[in-house]
Amino acid sequence: MHHGTQVNDEIILSVEHLKKRIGKRWIVQDVSFEVRAGEIFGFLGPNGAGKTTTIRMLVDLIRPTEGQVSICGYDVQKQPELALGLVGSIVENPEVYTYLTGWENLEQFARMMPGIDAGRLQEVVDLVGLDQRIHDRVRTYSLGMRQRLGIAQALLGRPKLLILDEPTNGLDPKGIKEMRSFIRRLAKEGLAVFVSSHLLSEIQVLCDRVAIISRGRVLAVGAVNELIDTSKGYVVWELEPSSAGEEMLQELGISIIRNADEVLDDAIIAGFGSRAIVTQMQADAVADIVPRLVNSGLQVRSVQKIIPTLEQLFLEMTDGEGVE
Amino acid sequence: MNKSSRIWRITGLLSAVSTLLLILGFLYAVYDMTVPANQASKAKPETGVQMSVAAAAPYDLTAIGDSLAKGTGDDTGKGFARRTVELLTKKDKESQLINNLGINGLTTKALLPMLDESGVQYGLKQAGIIILSIGGNDLFAGAHGYKNSGELPSAAEMDAAVAASGENFKQIVKKLREINPDAQLVYVGLYNPFADLKDMREAGDRAVAHWNTNVLDTMNQYQGTIVVPTYDLFTNNLDRYLSGDHFHPNGEGYQMIAERIVQSIALN
Amino acid sequence: MVKALNSLLLLVKNETIKMIKKKRFYVVLLVLIVLVPMFAYAQMRESTTKREKFGADWRREVQQAITDNQNSLGSDRVPEEWKKYRKIYIEQMKYYLEHDVNPIQSGGVTFTREFLNNASTLFIPLLIMGVASDIVSSERTAGTIKMLLTRPVRRWKILLSKLITLIMFVSLIIVSTLLVCYLVSGLFFGYGGFQLPVFSGFQLNGSEVDMSNVHAVPQWKYICMQAGLIWFVGITVAMLAFMVSVLVRSTSASIVIMMAALIAGTILSNMASAWTSAKYLFMVNLGLTNYLSGTPAPIEGMTLGFSLAVLAVWAACSTIVSFLVFTKQDILN
């Protein structure tokens, strides 16, 4: 996905060899990555992979056993006042004081950092579109409104880095859409955004770069597109007659996928005709194959290239460990 | 100013003032308790304050002395003091119990300093009738425990006790007259609680008689004094009038004493 | 320096607003407003029955109390422990009579004094606990601790602001108890009695009552001293509850722990004596006002200085533990 954001080279968040042991268990074994200004960085992994622990180490809720987190060059451990001043975050759910109003909550947070006046409060309230209900008790808010209040508090201190833990969790489709475009807008303005998710589609739709984590280790870090290109894609053929076409493809040395429903998303499979042939091959080769099929007297009804999902990437990287 | 700031200002101010006051109170308390009173310029309370005493009503009653005055042995807890008040009330005399100052085990020696206490004096001054019961513990010292130990006072011990306690008794009566010269002073005479014990009958009788004679001599020196005899009541009726401890009267015994008191005091 | 102080003050402001908005303090006030009239009414009924016996004559009433207690001193059925209390009580009452001062004069101020005397070991600590047990653990239960600790503020500052707020509310609770007590009991007994003298300084020396230090204190001053001592007790209890609140994640668990400790204290104070090492426990040292009134301490060897030291050590240790744990703790949930 290209968002046309101006990713510059300024490194906002740098994580080096982060490790965390709780009791005898290494929850996080070795995590390193960098997040630059203006990019949306995805942090992808199944539940229990060490995502939340890593995020908590980013914001000083958990102290790392080893390794270092720095934000704009400030070590989170050693200079938390400076480092955390540059971060806005929502860790897990946006938990705020339900017995206070939205505005009073923001006032609470404003008093904890320098230079935030009522004007700035109003600014972030307008930004997240909560101005109608901001003076009501948070107890009466819907989850979506709490999420927005959470974002408002995260943005309050004009951060350089925004850390969002599963930001679309629990939102309805409209809310998810709004949240995504909102995040993109923030990134466009130069904010570095760190988004964690266990939903690969979420990352695929939203992020520029991604780190994939499993069992406390980072498996890969890279641009989402690059990661997709390294993977062999799928091509779905509809040929007439179908059986002859399948033989022909096999003769050409192309691997036919029989268990398509196991490797492809159900939604994609549903779009095929009943006699579709799923193959795994480089998409570039299609141009060579089509004339041969036609020359053999086969009718080519349709050829469809399927972009691999991150689920597939993940399966390839972990040799079938699976997500969730 | 918005609401949050108002909450903060009010709470902050009130709590700061409270904290300050409490700290001062704490420091003062520590100072007050650790620096000895004579070093600090602390107000030593005046002593010997004279209490103003209302005029005593003629039938208001204060009992003073030993367990008999207290009413020990009476299941109803009334003793002769309350029973006397009841009897007087029945005779349409306005009467109430001011104080029952009877203390179990009190001897003449212990009663003497008690009479200097201002509270005791106050109770006595308020009374029109003072009933005194004392001496039993002097004579039968340790006899309370006779059921347990089986030891009874010897005749010689009792004779010595009569002599020594007689002096105390004189002073007690003198003091009582000084404290309240207008009240009728009623002394409840001693009986011999051991009259049914072969070993004790004679010695006990002699000591009691001796004591009672002394008492009469002392009391007769003052106006408005009465000695109410009880020896004759109990001596042949110990089973009837003594309580389970074989020393104190039971309810019926107290009732008999109360009746005698009412019979002997001046009614007008 | 000024800037640091100012930022700390803003944190305290935050905590104060939360405390008020959470309505914890209102609950305390409500408890007082409901309970104090009950106590006052009970007290009124008691003095009415006494009045029927003794008329309006307090001197007779006091003298009778002395005699009754003297009688119990001679009884073998009364435990030696209790005799100690009664002995001092007798001497005190005699002293009052001697100086013609009414120790039982009913009035709003006297009621307040009596109430404070009885409330210092359990009632007020319980009220304080209700506020203190919640102050850290509620943030953990609600998950707001994450919001609190991801701010650009050092953790010790956040904890310190909570501690300061707690101390503020301890003071407020004690002063409100005093005020509610006075205002409510005044309805029953009248509002006078500030200048009434109270005798303080009775000490038990072996089996003798030492009266060399006895002196008169006007009742208002006496109440100030009581309140000050209770404040010290309150701070200690608050700091202990604070530590428990840091160590235990759930508010209810921390309330249960503190309540058990306090009630154990009252039980121990009543049994006590044989196990003398119990005097080093904080719970048996909460009755500081007893030193003022002259009531003997539950365990041999306890003095005001001793109790203050024991409480101070407990308070200091729990504060240190609170800060060490809180600043190092991983927030895992």
* Segment B231-265, tens digit of pLDDT: 888 888 888 898 888 889 999 999 999 999 999 88
CA–CA separation, A296 and A293 (whole Å): 5
Mutate to test the interface with C, among B14, B17, B26 (most CBs of C within 10 A): B26
Q: Residue B148's CB: how many other CB atoms inside 10 A?
A: 7
Q: Give the mean model confidence (pLDDT) for residues A217-242.
A: 80
Instruction: Select from B191, B205, B204 the least CA-distant residue to B249.
Output: B191
Gap from C320 CA to chain B (nearest CA, Å): 22
Q: Which two tokens stand for residue C170?
A: 């301890």
Q: Give the mean model confidence (pLDDT) for residues C75-82.
A: 75
CA–CA separation, C16 and C36 (whole Å): 26
Q: Is the dihedral of CA A55, A59, A65, A68 positive or negative?
A: positive
List b or e across A246-279, with b for residues whose CB sees 16 or more CB atoms inside 10 angstroms: bebbeeeebeebeebeebbeeebeeebeeebbbb
Give the pairing type, strands C203-205 and C208-210. antiparallel
- Collect all residues of chain A within an 8 Å Cβ-Cβ radius of residue C154: 80-81
Judge whether A274 and A210 are in contact, CB under 8 Å.
no
Q: Please list, in sequence order, all residues whose beta carbon lies within 8 angstroms of the beta carbon of residue A99, skipping any fewer than 6 positions away.
A: A137, A138, A139, C21, C22, C23
**CATH class for domain A232-307?**
alpha beta
pLDDT confidence of residue A323? 46
How far out from the chain centre does Cα B212 lie?
20
Instruction: Select from A314, A311, A293 the least CA-distant residue to A303.
Output: A293
CB contact under 8 Å between C172 and B7, yes or no, is no
Gap from A91 CA to chain C (nearest CA, Å): 7
CB contact under 8 Å between C228 and B104, yes or no, is no
Higher pLDDT, C3 or A323: C3
Give the pairing type, strands A40-44 and A192-197. parallel
Q: Which two tokens stand for residue B200?
A: 């004790």
C274 band by pLDDT with thresholds 50, 70 and 90: confident
Q: Which of A60-74, B14-28, C129-143, C271-285 has the lowest mean pLDDT?
A: C271-285
pLDDT confidence of residue A70? 94
Q: So where are chain A's domains?
A: 11-228, 232-307
A324 band by pLDDT with thresholds 50, 70 and 90: very low
pLDDT confidence of residue B10? 94
The pLDDT of residue C150 is above 80: yes
Gap from C174 CA to chain B (nearest CA, Å): 9
The pLDDT of residue A239 is above 70: yes
How far out from the chain centre does Cα A182 lie?
14
> Within the 102-141 window of chain B, which residues sit less than 8 Å (CB to CB) from chain C?
102-105, 117-120, 122-123, 126
Mean pLDDT is highest, among A298-307, C102-111, C308-317, for C308-317
Give the pairing type, strands B184-188 and B225-228. parallel
The pLDDT of residue A296 is above 50: yes
**CATH class for domain A11-228?**
alpha beta
Counting as low any pLDDT under 50, the low residues of chain B are 144-145, 147
pLDDT confidence of residue C29? 93
Predicted complex ipTM: 0.91
SS3 content of chain B, % helix, strand, coil (to 5): 55, 10, 35
Percentage of the residues of chain A whose pLDDT score is greater than 70? 89
Judge whether A195 and A41 are in contact, CB under 8 Å.
yes
Higher pLDDT, A40 or B192: A40
The pLDDT of residue C259 is above 70: yes
The DSSP output letter for A283 is G
CA–CA separation, A18 and A31 (whole Å): 5
CA–CA separation, C247 and C240 (whole Å): 11
Provide the H-helix boundaries in chain C: 2-21, 24-54, 58-74, 80-98, 108-119, 123-132, 137-142, 145-149, 155-189, 219-247, 251-271, 288-293, 304-328
**Residue C333 touches chain B, beta carbons under 8 Å:** no
How far apart, in Å, do the first and last CA atoms of chain C sit? 35
Gap from C155 CA to chain B (nearest CA, Å): 22
CB contact under 8 Å between C152 and A59, yes or no, is no
